[in-house]
Structures are given as C-alpha cells and as structure tokens.
Amino acid sequence: MLGALIKKEIQANVLSFRFVAVAALLLIVVPVAVLVLSTDAAKKVDEFSSRRSGIETYLKSYAHFNRLQNVIQPAQPPLASYALVRGISSDVNIEEFDDDPLPVMFPLLDLTFVVAILLSLAALIFSYDALCGEKEDGTLKLMLANGVPRAKILLGKIVGGTLTLLVPFLLSLVLGLIVILLNPRVAWGGSDWAALAVLLAGAAVYVLFFLVLGVFISARHQSSSASIMTSLCVWVLFVLVVPNLSPYFASLVSPAPSRIKISREASRLTDVERDDLGKRLAAEKMKELVRQYPALAENLSEAESKARAEKDPAYKEALQARVREVGAAWTEANRIQGAKAKELWDDMRRKEEAQTKLAGAVSMVSPLSDFTFLATDLTSSGLMNERHFEQLSRLWEQSYGDYVRARIGALQKQDPAVDWWNSPVDVSDMPRFQYKQEPLAARIAGTFLPLGILAGLALLAFAAAYFSFVKYDVR
C-alpha cells in the first residue's frame, strides 16, 4: 500500500511543472557554481604555493631572528574541498590596510548555500499543498474512502516528495563532481569523498525537515493559497532571519566588553597605574630601609654618595640594599598589574566565548545554521577548523620558540661578539608550519549535534503534521 502511495506521489510530482522548474534550475546552478568554485580553488592553490616559495626565497638571504616571526606567520592552505564548500574561509581581512570587502557585500555561492536556500525553498514549493491541495481537488476524500490509514498517506507524501526532490539535486551534483574530477588541479582524497557523503546525509535530513514542515503547514490550512503564505513566512524566519539575528541577539543578552575598551584599560593598568604602584611600593621599602640604614635618609647628590660609598663600606651595603629592594618593589608592581591586566583579558575572552556559544545555540534553532555548521565543520571551513588552526599555530609557535632559543644559544657560544638577533642566519632546519586537516573521525563526531538537532526538528515536525492531519477535515 505504502509503495503504491509513494509511487503515485512521485509520478504526480515528476509530471508537475514545479518539478521541471526546480530540476532545471538545479541542473544549471550547481554545475556552474562548482565550475567557478573549482577554478577559483585551483587558483588559490597556485597562489598559495607561490606565496610559500616567496617566503623560502626571503629566508635564504634575510632570515634574522629579531623579525623572522613576522614573515613566517602560520597560514591556512587552500583545501581540496573549497571546490564545493567555502564556509568562513574567505579572507575578509580586517587587519590589513588593503582589505577585500567584496564578500561582505555578497557572500560566496557554494554547495552549502544551494542546499540551505534553494533546496529548502524547493522543498516548501513541493509540499505546501500536499494535503490542502488534494482536499481542494477532492482527491483526498476519494483516497480516504478506501481503507488507507492517514499515517500511511502522510508517510507516502513525505517519502515521495523527498525522493523527487533529492534525485534532481543528486543529478546536478554528479554533474558538478564530474567537473571536479576533470580538473586535475583539484585533488580530492578519500577523506574528502567520505566527508561529502556525510554532508549529503545532512542535506537529506535538512530537505526532509522542510518537506515535513510544508506538509504540516498544509495540514493546518484549508486552502493552499493561505498555506503558501504561512510556509514562506516561516521559511523566511527560519532561513533568512533567525541565523542572522542570533549573533546580535547574543551580544545583547550576554554582552562582552569591546576589545578596544579592554586594551585601553589593560594598557592603563600596566602603564600609569603600574608607575603609581611601583612608586608607592618603592617608597614603603625606602621607609623600612631608612629605619635599618639611617644613612640613607641623608639627601646626598649622586657624586657625594658615590664618594661616600667608596670610603664607607656600611654605606655601600646600604646603597646596594636600596637598589635591590627598589628593584624588587618594581618587579612586584609589574607582577601585580600584569596579573590584573591578564585577568581583564581572560575575563573578556571568557565572555566572548560565552557569547559565541550562546549565538551558536540560538542560531541552532534554525535548521539553516545547523546545516551550515555541519557542512563547514565537515569540510574544515568552519568554527571547528578555526579552533584547530589556532591550536596548531600555538604548537608550532612553541617549537619555533624552542628552535630560536637553541639556535641563538649555540650561535652566541660560537661568537659572543656578534648581535645574532639582527644578523642573517641559515634557517633551513627551522620547523615550518605544517597545516594538517583535523582527522575525518573528529570532523564527523562534530556533526552529531547539528545532525541530531536537524533529525529532532524533522521528527517534531512529523509529529505535528501527523496530529494535524488526523484531525483534518478532508471534505
């Protein structure tokens, strides 16, 4: 029975105008997008290798430890998966004078985008009249006059709709993948294909959610023209508004101090306030010292005190104690104020992290963000990769620091007269920063949460659709 229902759904869909329109759009947009993206990815690979060789040429003649670290900053190499998914990899670099603001105006078009916007819209177009449309045509009445349970009709509609939508999408993607395979400079490995498979599973659940949502809305309406209005409004909220508002919302609810403010305050702590504290501590120390060495209380000029120190060993000792104690007082002041500044920074970072977490959590109400996080994390172009990259950079910085200390030590032993910090040195044995993608297992594990939420949302929508349909007046 279910088979017959699904077959009927698929046949009705395939013959419909909307199927032809959606299929035509996907078959054009996806291959074209992949063609442009893979050309761009290949270009990025070329540029990256020329950047690398530029650095190596520099290192041969001008490597010197004092400024070397500015030249060999860790850089994210372009990945093979950039031919399909870009995520937040585009460099809207806000810290350079010559920035590239175009992606701020128009974000890139990639596979995530096609699925997130086009497929979800298509899913609603396929399902907004699933029940109310058949009611209007009178076929729903006839169907129920046979002994078909409503659950089966619902299931048949959902399965048939999902299949008819996914098939043209997969076809268009196959065309896109052929483009990728034909481009020899975009080398896809086994883990890229595996990641794509998981991504497609996520896309299927995402599409399923919107299809079920459309069926649910159609079960709440008596006319399909009202149903499409509700569907589109819900779609706009879920897809175009909630994700975009979520970071702003999070910054209102869980505010983090601005970085500018913190850096101003921190520099005040370690500058003006440190001087005040240092002077105060030094004065206190001086009071104690004067009690111990009354000679220090005399106000002598520098020359006089020098002359006296030569004659009077007790006075010399007192002077040395003064230097020592005052130095200790300043060190103490530095330590206290440094700790305060560090606490300020740490507090800001904690708050920023909390805000990011909240923004992520709020945005995950929207299936679009769930799918975006899933797709970008799988292809190492999202938040997970950002953290991973930071960790790799830190590790590399440590090994680089060790290397510099060891080299400088050895060189200074060789010839202590030379200023090795500012002299060209041979650094061919220096550890280079090597980016390694996070292992596939970890990336897949990271998708459990968004995938789970998507599946949960789909189930919820299904339950809602079921209960609405059971109570639906089919006349």
Partner 1 sequence: MIGTIVKKEIASNLLSYKFFVVILLMTLLLATSFFVLYKDFKGRQADYELVRPKPGEAIAVLAPNPLSIFAKGLDEAMTRSFEVGPIGIQVRAGQKSGNAVFAFFPAPDFVYIVKVVLSLVALLFGFDQISRERETGVLRLMMSNSVSRAKVLTGKWLGNYLSLAVPFLLVALIGFLLMTLDPQVRFGAMGTGRFLLLLAVALLYIALFLSLGILVSALTRRAAASLVVLLLIWAVAVFVLPNLGTLVARQLVDVPSVKALSEKRQQTWTREILLAIVEGRAQGRQAVDANRKTHLEAINTEFDKLEHDYRLKFDRLVRLSKTINRLSPAASFVYAATELAGTGIGEESRLKDEIVRYKDAVFQDFDQGRKDHAAFAYRYRSAGQVLAQGGMFDLGWLAAFTVVLFGLGFAAFVRYDVR
**Of 74, 338, 360, 431, the one binding partner 1 by CB under 8 A:** 360
Q: Which two tokens stand for residue 448?
A: 């459990």
Q: Is 392 in the site for partner 1 (CB under 8 A)?
A: no
Residues 327-346 that bind partner 1 (CB under 8 A): none
How near is the Cβ of 322 to partner 1 at its closest, in Å? 35
Question: How many Å from the N-terminal Cα to the C-terminal Cα in the chain?
Answer: 23
Burial classification of residue 435, based on how many CB atoms lie within 10 Å of its CB (0-12 exposed, 13-18 middle, 19 or more buried): middle
Rounded distance, CA 86 to CA 376, Å?
7
For the chain, what is the radius of gyration of the CA atoms?
33
Residue with Cβ nearer partner 1 (122 or 196): 122
Q: 106 or 429: whose CB is closer to partner 1?
A: 106
Count of beta carbons in the 10 Å neighbourhood of residue 402: 11
Which residues lie below 8 Å from residue 284, measured CB to CB, with a gap of 6+? 329
117 binds partner 1, rule: CB under 8 A:
yes
Q: What are the distances in angstroms from CA 317 to CA 294, 302, 304, 310? A: 12, 16, 16, 11
Note whether 408 binds partner 1 by CB under 8 A.
no
Query: Candidates 1-9, 111-119, 156-164, 279-287 — which segment interacts with partner 1 by CB under 8 A?
Result: 111-119
Q: Please count the residues of this chain forming the interface with partner 1, following the rule CB under 8 A.
A: 100
Closest CA to 321 of 282, 267, 368: 282
305 binds partner 1 (CB under 8 A): no
CB of 205 to partner 1, least distance (A): 20
Give the interface segment with partner 1, choosing from 249-257, 329-337, 393-401, 462-470 (CB under 8 A): 249-257
Task: Give residues 194-223 in contact with partner 1 (rule: CB under 8 A).
Answer: none
- The beta strands (E) that lie in 244-354 are given as none
Please name the helix (run of DSSP H) or strand (run of DSSP E) that holds residue 251, with its range, or none.
helix 242-253
29 lies in the binding site for partner 1 (CB under 8 A): yes
- Note whether 253 binds partner 1 by CB under 8 A: no
Told to check if 15 binds partner 1 by CB under 8 A, we report no
Q: What is the footprint of partner 1 within residues 123-142 (CB under 8 A)?
A: 125, 129
Q: How far is the CB of 443 from partner 1 (least distance, A)?
A: 17
Q: Which of 226, 336, 440, 474 binds partner 1 (CB under 8 A)?
A: 226
* Phi and psi torsions of 271, nearest 5°: -120, -85
**What is the Cα–Cα distance from 264 to 9, expressed in whole angstroms?**
65
Under the binding rule (CB under 8 A), the answer on residue 21 touching partner 1 is: yes
Residue 100 Cα distances to 93, 111, 257, 474, angstroms: 7, 22, 27, 57
Asked whether position 43 contacts partner 1 by CB under 8 A, the answer is yes
Q: Which of 186, 232, 240 is nearest to 213 (CA)?
A: 232
Minimum distance from CB of 35 to partner 1 (Å)?
Answer: 10
Structure tokens at 66: 């004092």
Question: Among residues 44 and 316, whose Cβ is nearest to partner 1?
Answer: 44
> By CB under 8 A, what part of segment 417-436 binds partner 1?
419, 422-424
Cα separation, 382 vs 443, in Å, equals 11
- Is 224 near partner 1 (CB under 8 A)? yes
Residue type, position 335, single letter: R
One of 12, 14, 25, 144 touching partner 1 (CB under 8 A): 25
Q: Which stretch binds partner 1 (CB under 8 A): 46-54, 198-206, 270-278, 440-448?
A: 46-54
Does residue number 182 form part of the binding site for partner 1 (CB under 8 A)? no
Task: State which residue, 343 or 353, has the beta carbon closest to partner 1.
Answer: 353
Smaller CB separation from partner 1, 334 or 393: 393
User: Can you list the pairs that 132-136 forms with residues at least 24 positions away whose Cβ atoms lie under 8 Å?
Assistant: 132/218, 132/219, 132/221, 132/222, 132/223, 132/224, 132/227, 133/218, 133/224, 135/222, 135/472, 135/474, 135/475, 136/223, 136/224
The least CB distance from residue 168 to partner 1, in Å, is 13
